Each structure stands twice: as C-alpha cells, then as structure tokens.
A and B are shown apart, each in its own frame.
Chain A
C-alpha cells in the first residue's frame, strides 16, 4: 500500500462518516420529531398540547401536573421543592413562590435529601405540625407517608386515597360542603390500578379542587 491509496482511503472514510452523519441528523433529529408532532396534533390534539384543564374557558392548569394550593377549602398535595412552579407576582413584577421565597423559573426535581439527612426529618416535622394544625381531627400516626414526603418530580398531581380522605373533615368545615359531597368528589377523581393490577390507586388533587370550586360556585363550568 502506498501513500496515495492510504490518503484516498482516509478521505473516503471521512466522506462516509460525514454524509451518513448529516443524513441521520436530518432524519432522526428533524424529520422524526416533526412527523411525530404532525401525527399527534391530528389524532391526539389535547394531549400533544399538554392536556390543559379549563374553567370558564380559561386554562387553569394541566391534568397531569400538580399545583400548590393554600386556601383552606382546597385539598393539599404533596410538598414540592419547586412549589409546583406555582407563583405570584407583586406590583413590581417580582415573582415569588407561595411561601414568599423567590421563584426560580420553570424547574422540576426534589431536594434530594438522603434518608439519613437531618434536613429531611426537619422538613417532615415542620410539615406534620402544620398539617395537624390545619386538620385538628387527624391523629399524627394516621397521616399517610405520601402526604408528608416530596415526590421526585416536585410536580406529582396525585395523593393516595387515604391522604385525600383524612383531609375531608377540615375541607368540609372550610368550604361549607357536606362530607358526603366531598367524599363523592374524591371518589370521582380517584383512579384505580390499571387492570386492577399495575400501579397504585391515585386521587388527582387539581381535579378534586376544580370540583370543589364548582360546587362552591367559584367557577361556572370546568372541563377536564
């Protein structure tokens, strides 16, 4: 083998690498996502655009994404390191989470506290005390673990049925709705396991609160 054939082989190899790369770049990085978007928009328009939930014609959230609720007549979800990306604005346009700390912008995740981290126990302790104060009928040992622990995403839309049930007495007192009515609302927003086997039973908190708002007459019409 002499030098020119070596050189030729190199350039031939480079050409193959370069062209195959560019073709695949176009095919996988552009054609595929655009094609998928196109088909999705036609057959699953709502899901493709984020499964938004509307009340009185206005988008108020997304079906799959949790929200931070503070009103006593609304059901509470799990703690979130990013407050479910829920925030308010003051007059100067500064943005804050509901707890008063500065809004970090769109995020997801958790505090990533190890089980042995004292910060975890501290946070849970504070949350338990606050919850017991808001729900005086509840005994400490009856609080389900999911309600006092943060999800991985910080956006978990669900709580367990037990976590929903123990909030009902306090919700009834604050909203003026009967406990029966609230139990019905929780049942309407409870989803069972897939085929009765896979996953867990879940209650969608935003769904519950939309129904509460509707029953209290805060909103007229809601579509989920």
Chain B
C-alpha cells in the first residue's frame, strides 16, 4: 500500500517539469537544448522540403498525418515480408505470413502494439529495429502531433492554423522521444536489460541440461515501448520477462516512462488553452485580466482547465487501481479449496519480484495510459482484477495513450457541458466557445465509434466458428477474452488476454480493421471539432456560465464517463468478468 502511494506521489512530482518541457516544445517556445536540436531539425526540414512555419488547416493536417502514416505502413510491411534475408538476422527467422504482417504493421502504426506473433521466434533483429522500434517512435509522435494540433484548435489563437504536421512530428521525435530514450535505455541496460546484436546463447546448466537465453537489442525497444505508450514486447511475454524487466527499478523506470508523457499532455493542454484565453482577455478587457501570478499553485502548474481534466482522470485511475489491487489480494477461491494458501494473493501469472502491489499498479497504468505492456499475465487476473484493465480500455480516456486519451477526455468534457447545459437550459460553452449542433454531432459520433467497434466485432466473433476457435478458457472467461481483444484493439492499447489463440486469418484481419478504424476515425473527427471550434468567437463569461476549471466539474466529468460506460458496456461486462466473479465466489 505504502509503495503504491509513494510511487504515485513521485509521479506527480516528475510529471510537472516534463509537462513544462513538453509545453515549450508544443508551443514552439525556447528551451535550453535549442542550439543542438535546431540544427538537427533544420537539416531534416531542408532534406524533406518542409517549411516548419507554414501552417495547415485541420484538413491539411489530417491528410498529412494519414498520408505519412500510409507511407510508413508500406515500408514497414515490405520489411516484415522480406525479413528472412540474412541481414541482422543471426537467429535465422523466416519472413512473415501476409495476414500476420498486415495485422502487425497496422498494430504498430496505430500505436496499438497488439502482437499475434512472439518476438523471439517471429521477428529478425532487423525487423525489431526498422519496423518495431521505428514505428514505436513515429506512431507516438503522430498521436502527439494530432493532440497538439487539437489543442491549438481549442486554444484558438488563430482562426484556422493548427500547426505544421511535419514540424510537429520531427520536433517531438528529436527533442523528446530520442533524448529521453537514450537516457532511459541506458538505465535499463544498467538494470540488466540486454542490448546487443548477438545470436541467442545456449549454455550448459549445472545439471548438464541446456538452456537457451535470448539476446538482441532489447533495451532500445524497451524504453521507447513505454515512452511512446506503445506496449509491444521484444518477447512474447512482454515486460513480465526478466530480459525486458529484470528488477523492481527497471519496473519503476518503465512505469514512469509510460505515465509521464500522457500526463504531460494534459499540462500542455492546460497551459496552451490558458495562453489562448489570456491573449483574448488582454485584447478585450486588459484591466480585468487575472495575471498568472495571482492564480493558485496547482492552476499555475497544470493550467486551470488542465487541472480539472487531470483531476478527473486521476479519480478514475485511483478507483480502478483500488479495485484491481483489492481483487488480486483476495486470491483465488478455487485454489484455496484444494488447500493452497492464498494469503499472498493471486500469484498465478505474476512475478515474485513485483508481487501483487506492483502488478496491480502496472496493470492499471498500462490500460489507463493505453500502453499495452504487461508485467503480469492479464488473462490470469482474478475476474474483477481483470475487469479493471478491460474497463479502462473501454473508457479510453483515463490519461490515455500519447495525446489520444486527452482528446477523448475533451470529448467527454464537451458532452458534460452539453448535459449540464440541457439541465439549466443554456447554450453550453467550453473553453470560451459555444458548443452547437455541429460540434455535438461530431462528438456523439466520435464517442459512439469506440463501443460500436468493440461490441459489434465481439458479437461477430462469438457468432462465428472462426472467432470461437480462438477462445481457450472455458465459461464466462471466454467472453472476457474476446471483449478484451477488441477493446484492446479499438483503444489502441495492445495488451491481451494472451491465452486467446489469435494468430489466425479471422483474428488477424478483424483486429487489424478495428485498430485502423479505432485510430484514424476519432483523430479526424476530433481535429474536425477543433477546426470548427477555432472559427468561433469567444463568448464572455457570465454568471450563468458553467465553470469548467473547478473540482465540481471534474466530479461531473467522472460521472459522465462512468454513466456512459455503464450504458454501453455493462451488459457485456455482466456476462464476462462479473459472471465469472459470481461463480467463483458464489
């Protein structure tokens, strides 16, 4: 318990400077490292003919994002298909089968990292580097770029310029992801994560048998896997393996790597929106504008609007974490029945070095921040403990992956002001802009896509023989496996109830489609919302305006998220994890 509290307190301390740095990068402000990075970026811009100061409207921005991702998908797909070439392939791995390569490339481009292959037998070192590690950088950078463009739209400094996609993509990669990865990667090697290009080692054991030990450029993949909230492991069993995650310290490094940037995005949002409002207020009524130094400390650190969003996400996160931790501590009643002491909690699928507390924390973090890395096997979690990661992927707004979680949460915020507006009979406003028919239609559409993808495809899977063939656990848990797979795909999370036998045409193709739609549809719609909001004029705050920077708004937001989730997902959850819980404990 103490270690959980301390881990989270340290996070709150770390996220503030990172948020500040990210804000400076996003807003194009000066940072201490500019002299170096300006040159690197300048060279890349020159080579590609990019004019970083040439703004784009939301449509151009979305097109640039999708077009560039398409190019990346094409190159990555080719590499996966021809990876059997003897180039950085000391273990003699074969080329990848087409539907699996399709699934894999979509999975990594969309920041999902669902893996229907096992890294130790399915990928050459060349693919691990040029496809997996590369995609981990650029899919994270793409998500972040979309988020920054979205925030620029909401901050509304101009009428249609949301920034330059290529400049955003390059800046986040060179100034945040690469330097952070280099430092973090070295820390991981120090803790014992391998980083080499040697073939796997076979040793003779003390008993005269043999053991094969995995090698490879593991640390390089491991650090960006978490920093970019990607989640796909070098090995089949991901961060449970002692090669990827050997010590409690490496576990904490990986934990913070995946938590820092999504949290920092919220701070970036708070500060940039604050800037936009301030600029507007100054131009209108300079004498009434509240100077920044008179605001409270949290408002200054997180930005006023960022603070309430962060608080709402924090509440959702803590509720989930508490449930997961409690459920895992209860142990497994069927094992207690056959006389195995369960006082240590449910240890099946967990590593001794992490225990219940750090496993529950990692599970909740990886699905809240939609990374998808695991330090224990989610399929073996207790029913309620396993429902938490499932639910957080269904919510998809509890911090969320790089940038995307924030964008989803803003949709819920728009929904919340709309509902509150209906109750008091006023036109809803958010961030000083009127929310009208067009925005509400788009918001409703974006919010409905996620449950539609999850539930419709789950229905398809359980209704067809090809889908059912993947289920490996009997009873209610089988449905949980299916729901989990599609929730993970739609939320671009990538963790799995790994028992699912998912390397088949059916699962490769359907989850590939879900990942693709789950990624690009919301991004385009969200950019459209931002594009529509930024054209509007600011409305002046009046006594009847619902203030969205307050604690009470954060609480309203939490309720809106839970109510919406209950309305859409409760029947499915009742048939899966809840029913399993009742049978175990009944």
Contacts and interface: CB of A to CB of B under 8 A. Distances in A.
A16 B212 CA distance: 45
B279 interface: no
A2 to B, nearest CB: 18
Interface string B167-197: 0011001100110011001100111111111
A32 B220 contact: yes
Contacts of B72: 21
A88 B44 contact: no
Question: Which of A154, A155, A194 has the most chain B CB within a 10 Å cutoff?
Answer: A155
B478 to A, nearest CB: 9
A223 interface: no
A39 B248 contact: no
Given A145-B344, A149-B346, 11 more contacts: A17-B71, A25-B134, A27-B173, A30-B129, A37-B196, A51-B194, A74-B206, A110-B349, A116-B477, A156-B242, A197-B3
B452 interface: no
A79 to B, nearest CB: 10
Contact of A106 (B121, B337, B350): B121
Interface stretch (B21-29, B62-70, B264-272, B546-554): B62-70
B331 interface: yes
Given A28-B133, A74-B207, A115-B382, A107 B352 contact: no
A215 interface: no
A15 interface: yes
B399 to A, nearest CB: 22
B178 A200 contact: no
A160 interface: yes
B209 A44 contact: no
Given A25-B75, A30-B130, A159-B352, A67 B205 contact: yes
Question: Which of A71, A125, A202 has the most chain B CB within a 10 Å cutoff?
Answer: A202
B335 interface: yes
Contacts of A156: 242, 351-353
B166 A199 contact: no
Question: Which of B331, B334, B358 has the most chain A CB within a 10 Å cutoff?
Answer: B334
B350 A152 contact: yes
Contacts of B217: 33, 36-37
Interface residues of A, number: 109
A189 interface: no
B332 interface: yes
The 4 closest A-B pairs by CB, nearest first: A112-B499, A199-B248, A29-B134, A152-B240
B347 A146 contact: yes
B201 A124 contact: no
A47 interface: yes
B326 to A, nearest CB: 15
B214 A153 contact: no
B338 A21 contact: no
Contacts of A60: 203-206
A169 interface: no
A58 B208 CA distance: 12
B55 interface: no
Interface string A131-162: 00000000011111110111111111111100
Nearest to B46: A19
Contact of A115 (B212, B344, B348): B348
Contacts of B121: 105-107
B7 A198 contact: yes
A155 B376 contact: no
A107 B249 CA distance: 24
Interface in A20-45: 20-21, 23-25, 27-30, 32-33, 35-37, 39-41, 43-44
Contacts of A114: 379-380, 473, 475, 477, 480, 499, 580
A144 B350 CA distance: 14
Interface string A100-125: 00000111111111111110110011
B584 to A, nearest CB: 6
A14 interface: yes
A202 B63 CA distance: 52
A185 to B, nearest CB: 14
Contacts of A150: 348-349
Interface of A: 12-21, 23-25, 27-30, 32-33, 35-37, 39-41, 43-44, 47-52, 55, 58-71, 74, 78, 84-89, 95, 98, 105-118, 120-121, 124-125, 128, 140-146, 148-160, 193-194, 197-200, 202, 209-210, 213, 218-219
Nearest to A152: B240
A92 B331 CA distance: 45
A27 B175 CA distance: 13
Contact of A33 (B129, B177, B240, B246): B129
Given A27-B178, A37-B196, A65-B242, A117 B474 contact: yes
Contacts of A50: 194, 196, 201, 213-215, 243
Contact of A107 (B6, B178, B215, B236): B236
Contacts of A12: 49
B371 to A, nearest CB: 16
Contacts of B341: 141-145
A112 B355 contact: no
Contact of A37 (B2, B47, B220, B383): B220
Contacts of A39: 186
8 contacts: A23-B47, A36-B181, A65-B242, A95-B210, A108-B118, A110-B348, A116-B477, A198-B6
Contacts of B193: 47
B227 to A, nearest CB: 12
B382 A16 contact: no
Contacts of B63: 13
Question: Which of B189, B215, B251, B355 has the most chain A CB within a 10 Å cutoff?
Answer: B189
B348 A113 contact: yes
B68 A21 contact: yes
Given A28-B133, A108-B241, A154-B237, A47 B192 contact: yes
B124 to A, nearest CB: 13
A131 B279 CA distance: 72
A86 B133 contact: no
A52 B380 contact: no
B375 interface: yes
Given A36-B220, A152-B237, A116 B195 contact: no
Contacts of A24: 134, 137-138, 169-170, 173
B345 interface: yes
Question: Which of A44, A74, A210 has the most chain B CB within a 10 Å cutoff?
Answer: A44
A7 B182 CA distance: 41
B275 interface: no
A8 to B, nearest CB: 12
Given A151-B350, A213-B206, A64 B130 contact: no
